[in-house]
Amino acid sequence: MDKRAMKKIFFSNKMTVVCTCLLLLVILAALLAPLSPYDPDAVNVSEKLQGISGRHILGTDDLGRDTFTRALYGGRISLLVGAAAMCVAVIVGTFIG
């Protein structure tokens, strides 16, 4: 199968394109997490349990930490674990196969 046929098949399925864009968006957001103006571990009790606002996109937790920033940093760890598991599976599968 040539490159042109693969592109045609990929772009003909709208769900594939949407899911690929969402996956790339999550990866990009996780990689750019250090650009967040908030420290994910900084405790600010005066801002605890705030709701969604322009300042805190997902609000704050019971210790005043920005929930969105913590989710971005958690996404980095999740992507790292997923990539490591994939690498182990490929290596083990290659040796067994």
Indicate whether 1 pLDDT > 80: no
Phi (first) and psi of residue 53, to 5 degrees: -150, 180
Phi (first) and psi of residue 74, to 5 degrees: -65, -35
Radius of gyration of the chain (CA): 19
Per-residue pLDDT tens digits for 75-96: 999 999 999 999 999 999 999 9
Confidence (pLDDT) at 17 = 95
Count of positions (residues) in the chain: 97
**Mean pLDDT (whole number) for 16-37:** 94
CA distance 62 to 44: 9
